[in-house]
Structure formats: C-alpha cells, structure tokens
Structure 1
Amino acid sequence: MKNYSLRPATARSRVLIVDEAHENRLLVGQWVRCAGHEVVLADGGQRALKLLSDENFDLILLDFRMQRMDGFDVLRRIRINPALTQIPVVVSGVDELEVIIRCIEGGAEDYLTWPVAPPLLLARVHACLEKKRLRDGERRYLQELLDLKRDLARRNEELTVANALLEETARTDPVTGIPNRRSAMKSLDHLWALANRTEQSLACLMVDIDHFKAVNDNYGHQAGDRVLRETVAAMKKGMRASDVLGRWGGDEFLILCPATEAASARACAGRLVRLVGRQARARARLPVTVSVGVSQKLDRMTHPEQLIQAADEALYEAKRAGRDQVSAAG
C-alpha cells in the first residue's frame, strides 16, 4: 500500500475516527497514523460519544452516512457539550450542498466528499489541527492575561492596604494610638488656615503628665506606657469630637480646639485635670496628675508656632505653681 506520510504541520495529535464502515474506518485510520498522529477508532456515534466523555482528542473525523446515529446527530451532541466545543470536527461522506451547509452551520470545521484522495484528507486534517493549535494558543494567552490581570489587581490591593498601613503608622504614635507630633502639626496648620479663613477662634492646650520620669524610674517603662494610654483615655472623655489630640513628646500632649473661645478652652482644661486626677485616685499605686497650659489664637499672631509657644509658656507657669492645675496665657 502506498505510504501517504505527509509531514504533519503540527505536533503529534490524537484523532478520533468515527465510521460504521469497518474498511473505511481502518483505511482512514492508517492514513492518519502514517502522518504521525495517534488514532482512535469508533464504530458508531454512541461509541464516539463515550470515548469523548472519557478521553481527550484534538480532532474528530466523522462520517455523515452512519445508520444507527447519523453524523449530524453526533455533531449536534458534540457541540452542545461545553467540554467538547473546542474540538474541530471534519464531516466526511457529504455530497449535497444543502447537507454541507447544514453541517457547517451545525459546527463542523470542514467537510470531505467520498471517495477522498489521501493527500487531500491529510491536508484538511493538518489544516484543522493547525487552526486548533492557534486557537488553543490564543485561549492560553488570553487566560494568562486574565490571570495576570487578577494577580495585578490582587497585588495592587495588597499594596494599597500596605501603603494605608504605612501611612497610618507614619502619623500614629505607636504607644497611645493617637496622632504623633508630625500629624498633630499638620492638623494645626489646617485648623490655623481654617480659623483665618472663617475668622473663627482656635484654642490650644498643652498637657504634661506630672513627674512622669519618676513613674518610669520607679515602675519601669511598661508601667509608663500604661500610664500614657490611661491618661489619653481619660482626656478623651472630656473632649469634643471636633477636638484634635496628639502626642507632642515623651510626656506631653497637644490638644487643638477649633471654634473655641478662651473661657471654654480653660473649662475644657480644668475638666481634663479632674478626669485624669479621678482616674489616678482610682489607681492608688500609680497616682498621676497633669498640668495644662492654655493659649488662644490672637490677631497679633502670624504663625501657628506662636500659638504653641504661648500654650507651652502657660504650661510652664502651671508646673511652676505646683502642678495638677491649669494656667492660661495672658
């Protein structure tokens, strides 16, 4: 028998040959096998569908003239199965134009009239396999793009979370969880500009924990950190939601009170002194008090640092006068 082993245009593929005619099935199978492909034979539609459900194939050569289940019925069942839609089907044994059109519209990749010359059959086989290879490559490429897009989206989300965490860490005091000095200064600049724009008042409270160094020296830094956190918790009870509390230094805190006149600021400071003192009395082992200096934004002030300086000077007066009290800038 003449060898029609044309050089295949694709790598070795699995081809399912479906034909009820025994001799045709063997003959076509031998041609395809000689072209370098793996061949599986099915003697009818039911057998073909069973093989397709159990194994993977790259191409189906389907005879249209079968009696038990005609080729179009087999083609229809293949095309309604999502797992099989990507396998090209070449229908053989079709001669009438109407039947050819029906098969193509039903999902056939190509058709062959019978009898067929082996070189033509193999050329059609290789063309269909090459098209499938290209389509499979496109699908893999698109899937890789989708996977890459999802991976980039996930990484961007992780980066956004990490950046937000870093930003939060950069502006938060790690011991007390309140804004640090840098963040408090930004709030001061914002509130200062707002007060200038709206001609509203702005008050500043500088709070210092009395004898805090002795707490660290006598009880350790863990106890000192606990005192800082408890002092913050106590002060928050006496503040408005619009007030800004920040840690200014080791034992100092800054409180900014927008739209607050001098009398209200002094009242707030006195309330903080009482709240911290009340908490200290409840914790007899570590009695803690605070001193507070109060300043008010004045017309002669041109920079926010002047508001801080005035509150700092008032704080010094409160500590010089005996601590555990409030002093307001003149």
Structure 2
Amino acid sequence: MAASTSKNVIFAALAGNAAIAVTKFIAALITGSAAMMSEAIHSVVDTGNQIILLIGLKRAARPATETHPFGHGLQLYFYTFVVAVLIFGVGAVVSILHGIERIQAPEPIADPWINYVVLGLAVLFEGASWTVALKAFNKEREGRPFFGVIRSSKDPTVFTVLFEDTAALAGLVVALIGVVCSHVFDLPVLDGVASVIIGLILAVTAGFLAFESQSLLTGEAADPATREGIRAIAEAEPGVEGLNDARTMHFGPNEILVALSLDFRDSLSAGEVEDTVARLEQKIRAAYPQAGRIYVEAQSFASHSAVRAAVIAGGGAGALVSEVPGPGAS
C-alpha cells in the first residue's frame, strides 16, 4: 500500500483521537467515572501512537546509507512494535489498575448524562476514523480472507490503526454499558468492572500487534505468490540449468531483497552468464517492482548441496530452511 494512503489513515485517526481525548478527560473530571477515565487514557495513548507511526513512516523513507546499506525500511516495523508496547504498558495496565482501585472503593458517578453525551460523540468520531481505516484495508484486501491478509500484510500501519480503532469502539461500548448499568442499578462497582474490561481489550490488541510486528521486524519473506513467481521466472530463463535456492526478505512494505543461487549451463561463457543475470533481474523487477535488490550466485547444484551439508553439520541455521529447495532436496 502506498505511503500516502497509510498517512491519510493515520492522520484521520490522529485528528479523531485528539478530539475524543480532550472531551473524555473533561467528562471524566466532571463525573468521576473510572470507565470514562480509562477511555480518556486510551484515547491519549492512541493519539501518541499515531504520532509514533508517522515518525516511523518518515524515518523508514530515508535513503540507504553506508551504515544502513539496505535502507531504513525496518524502522517502520520497530515503531509499530513500540506502539504495541505503549498500548499494553500505558493503556491496558493503567486502565486495569484504575478499574481495580474503583472496584475496591466504588463511588457513584456524578452527572452520568454527561458521560452519555460524550460517549455518543466519541462513537461518532471513532466510527469515522474506523471507516477510513477499514476502507483502506479493504482496498488492500481485494476480497481475500480478512485475517489471512493481516497475517500476510507487510504494511503494519493500516491494520495497526484499524485494530486500534476497533479496540476503541469496543471500549466505548463497554464504557457506555458500564456507566448505564452503574447508574440504573445504583452499582458504582460496575464502573470499575468496565474499566478492567477496557484494559483487557487493550491488552489483547497490544498482544496481537506485538506478535505481528515482531514477525516483520525479525525478517519475513515475501508472500508465497511472489516467491513462486520469482522462482518461475528464474527457472524459465534460458541458460539456467536449475534453481538451487531462492530467498526473499522484506526490508519495508515495498522493498524486497531477493537472493538466488542458480546452476548455469556449463556451456555458457562468463559473458553469457552476465547477460543472463542482467535479463533475469530485469524480468523480476518488471514483474515485481518491490524487488529493489537482487543478488544472484552462480553455483552448481553439487557445490550448493555440499555447502548446505557442511553448514548443517556445523550446526548452522542458514542452510536448514530454504524457501525454494533445490532439485532433489527433501
């Protein structure tokens, strides 16, 4: 997904969360509602998270340098992981502790109608932000399974905002139920219970985002269709006897490193091998523009197998798993 689309989604969420946070804090201070205070904290955390994601996008867009020869794309994944940590450490933990405190010492909510109005407005603001994020996500999804796209997506910004907004909407519903029940049944303890539930919702959201971002941060391969397409192009190239190994790694949502080990025909001259590599790189980039860096190793299958066996025997992990096994590999 284009960076401009990601930024639009983040800016929409940032504007909505900032407005909601101020409104919730005012309502929480007036009414003394624990659930409303948890929601206010949640909105402040979300606002900060949008700023962090924008910083991540900006830093990830920096060009490659001598110290970072593959660019800075992985920084986006790092900042997404920071967002997950903040959601858990600030949003979830504070909400749960505040709720437990209110359960232990329940207090009646003053002027609950203020909470009703604020929560209603918050649902409208949050719903607008959620709609923007959902449209952007559905555009990327293109009819594919919802959770399958999340697992395979290499751009964490959109689904991070979508899950934050989904958690926010769920939290608003819980807060509204808690405030209404606390008021109608005259049970102030339910306000604290709602705060704890909001914290648990945030904890689950943070855990999911942390899992997804750490997977990207530690080096995910391209999606199966891209890997299979690169393999097919390499194997179909005249002059290539066989494909020993093909590995890919995302250095950002739109940046893939491709490493190929090819067995060229013995009859080719050095110049013909160079021409074959050049044609192959052009074909791969034409089919997959995100393949920014392509490295080709000329190696016979026998030599490749020997190196692989030596690495395995030495306890190395580098040759244990191959995205595309060579001929005869198990």
Report the structure, 1 or 2, having the larger strand content: 1
Question: Relative contact order, CA 8 A, sep 6+: which one is greater?
Answer: 2
TM-score class, shorter-chain normalisation, is: under 0.3
Which has a greater percent of helix?
2
Question: TM-score when scaled to structure 2?
Answer: 0.24
What is the TM-score of this pair, normalised by structure 1? Answer: 0.24
